[in-house]
Amino acid sequence: MAKMFIAGELAGALSGQTYDVINPATGETVGSAPKGNESDARAAIDAADAAFAAWADTSAESRAQLILKGIDAVKKELPELSVLLTREQGKPVGDSQREIEHFLHGMNFYAGLASKIRGSYVPLPDNKMYGMVLKQPVGVCGAIVPWNFPITLMGTKVGPALAAGCTVVVKPASSTPLTTLRIVELLNSAGLPKGVLNVVTGPGGVVGEELLQNPKVRRIAFTGESKTGQHVVSVAGSQMKRLTLELGGSDPMIFCEDGDMDKALTAASVGRFYNCGQACLAVKRLYIVESVYDQFVEKLLGKVAKLTVGNGLEKTTRLGPLHTKAQREEIEAQIEDAVTRGARVLTGGKRPEGAQFEKGFFYSPTVLADVPEDARVVKEETFGPVLPVFKVKDLDEGIARANNSMYGLGSSVWTKDLGKARRAAEKIEAGNVWINSLHIGYDEMPFGGVKYSGFGREHGPEALEYYLETKGVVIATPE
């Protein structure tokens, strides 16, 4: 059984309970994890609280060195960790490896920033006085992580937290705890002082809830569904905890008549079907200008036909299974809703057939046309391999329809016209706009949403700010 990591030690749940982790491709048990509860979460929070003062006082350079050593420890197990991630999450093993490498790149990025955190000196009107602005770590942070990118989305929280001098309790999604448990253990093996980085597994409504409610936790970094995010705001927000919320999205992609069609086709296909469509920044609505609509759709269907569905451990697989049975049922319900309202299935729209698919939660990549605006695939987040395509008159109609959404996470526009690109970048209501580019997160760039996609930013130097308090100090110099 995998173990949690609390106060510098591997730990089972205090209750002794465990639960099985299921492989979404085969239905088999991958391993088991401790079923932690409030008491385990409290033990981890207490450990993080006890460790905080010394960690905040540790020099930035030493903090960075320990993060870098941790990176080395994880690198040594990269192949095994990649296979484990595929077995518990479902994605192709190459994508698992890229996810862990992305995590390491992000950790390295924040290790580099640790020693660049600085405040300022402020001259005041009375020249016998001056001000200083100090940047100090916030305190104990709760990092609540979903199952779709369990490792990178842990890193976007743990990296800036440790660099800033905060201590952390990680709460992974219940269905993807195993790779996280091993990685936290490896990061600790590099010499982090006990209590600086802890991980507790168990139900979100119990372990996560304790992180939201416990007054010793001063900051919550949450990635997950918008509905859960609303709950996080109501509970943790009422305690004035610092919050960042990375929530759902329904990213639009707009293709104009002068866009590079071949590159856009790849971006639409990868952007929608990567991780079996289970990405917050996936292309979830595709708007194509009418003069090139037929040509684009025909070529898109050709690309989609080449996507191989299968177990993520097989080299040929491009699309693994959906992560859970419930996730597949949700996708099927959304497609049925669209079809009932008049949508046409251009490809897919069903489970793949064959013995190898019987035990997993597979679904064929699907493209829908003629989808009305009131269909669930337009109004809600579609977290699976389903791409609705829409014909629009021009860029302006594309922008208007792109903005007709409760979400505002990512978006993209394809055009060679700089004026159009700039107009789109300014007018689209989203935290991120990609021009002539795949929707992809960079460690160097701030990432986050507006509207129901949340608030606050992860990635980039901007993320560090959410782990730092700004303190104003006014000093009167002696006569």
Q: Residue 209 or residue 265: which is nearer to ligand NDP going by CB?
A: 209
* Active site residue ranges: 246, 280
Tell me how far apart the alpha carbons of residues 222 and 96 are, in angstroms, rounded to a whole number: 22
Q: At its nearest, how many Å lie between ligand NDP and the CB of residue 345? A: 24
Instruction: Please report how close the Cβ of residue 43 comes to ligand NDP at its closest, in angstroms.
Output: 17
CB-based contacts of 72, cutoff 8 Å, min separation 6: 190
Q: Which is nearer to ligand NDP, 284 or 420 (CB)?
A: 284
Q: How far is CA 153 from the centre of its chain?
A: 5
Give me the sheet containing 120-123, strands edge to edge.
120-123, 129-137, 468-476
CA atoms within 13 A of residue 235's CA, in its CB half-sphere: 18
**Is 12 or 446 the residue whose CB approaches ligand NDP more closely?**
446
Give the residue with the Cβ less far from ligand NDP, 223 or 405: 223
Rank residues 269 and 327 by Cβ distance to ligand NDP and give the closer one.
327
β 450-451/468-476 pair status: unpaired
CB of 19 to ligand NDP, least distance (A): 10
Q: Which DSSP string corresponds to 123-166? A: E-SSTTEEEEEEEEE--EEEEE--SSSTTHHHHHHHHHHHHHT-
Q: Which is nearer to ligand NDP, 170 or 187 (CB)?
A: 170
Distance CA 279, CA 277 (A): 6
Q: How many CB atoms lie within 10 A of CB 400?
A: 12
CB of 479 to ligand NDP, least distance (A): 54
Question: Per the structure block, which two tokens stand in for 264?
Answer: 């856009």
Distance CA 33, CA 235 (A): 27
Q: Which element (helix H / strand E) includes 293?
A: helix 290-305
Number of C-alpha atoms within 13 angstroms, CB side, residue 403? Answer: 12
Task: Output the smallest distance, CB 235 to ligand NDP, in A.
Answer: 7
Task: Give the residue with the Cβ less far from ligand NDP, 249 or 259.
Answer: 249
3-state DSSP assignment of residue 358:
coil
Q: How far is the CB of 132 from ligand NDP (least distance, A)?
A: 34
Contacts of 142 (CB under 8 A, 6+ apart): 45, 168, 169, 171, 208, 211, 212, 217, 219, 220, 221
Provide the token pair at 207: 């372990």
Name the site residues for ligand NDP (rule: CB under 6 A). Answer: 144-149, 153, 171, 173-174, 203-205, 208-209, 212, 223-225, 228, 231, 246-249, 280, 381, 383, 409, 449, 453-454
Q: Let me know: does 436 contact 452? Beta carbons within 8 Å.
A: no
- What is the smallest separation between the CB atom of 418 and ligand NDP, expressed in angstroms? 29
Min dist CB 286 to ligand NDP, Å, is 18
Question: Whole-angstrom Cα distance, residue 354 to residue 351?
Answer: 10
Nearer to ligand NDP, 392 or 409 (CB): 409
Distance, in Å, from the CA atom of 181 to the CA atom of 302, rounded to the nearest integer, reads 41
In the block, tokens 């695939």 appear at 377
At 280 the three-state DSSP class reads coil
Helix 152-164 to helix 93-113 angle (10° resolution) is 10
